[in-house]
Amino acid sequence: MVRMDNVGIVVEDLDGAIAFFEAIGLELEGRAHVEGAWAGRVTGLGDQRVEIAMLRTPDGHGRVELSRFLEPAVVEDHRAAPVNSLGYLRVMFAVDDLDATLAAAEVAGASLVSTEVVRYEDAYRLCYVRGPEGILVGLAQPLG
């Protein structure tokens, strides 16, 4: 293995999801349409049309790929699943200033999952937020 390339998230409102991830510090690399049989062979969906956006972390090592399926239609919706649901849950970002990041996230439509930011020993301040589309994101500010 070389690295983790990206985490994929399927959304309905691509513009709103992009704005949310930009608000918490990711940078939009680009947008594109992906379609045709070759793409469907990768996903197992057959012919598909998808609008995607790729965002990267400021250090350039991590990416989030947002996908809005035009065809075929989305078949399930897990956006309101609680944090103890089976399957992929969330992506966690390390941030320099948790309070400033939370303020920017709230302006972009996010809200805390719990009622507070918690401290994990002398290592981190942590919280989960739900952004637009119900996207669950963890934010961690290293201490010390």
Q: Which domains does the chain have, with CATH numbers?
A: 7-71 (3.10.180.10), 91-142 (3.10.180.10)
Predicted pLDDT at 81: 84
Predicted pLDDT at 4: 82
How far is C-alpha 39 from the geometric centre of its chain's CA atoms?
22
Q: Is 13 exposed, middle or buried (0-12, 13-18, 19+ CB in 10 A)?
A: middle
Helix, strand counts (H, E) of the chain: 3, 9
Phi, psi (degrees; rounded to nearest 5) at 7: -110, 130
> Rounded distance, CA 112 to CA 137, Å?
10
Predicted pLDDT at 28: 98
Residue segments in the chain with a per-residue pLDDT below the cut of 50: none
- Helix (H) or strand (E) segment spanning residue 50: strand 49-56
Task: Specify the pTM.
Answer: 0.90
Predicted pLDDT at 38: 84
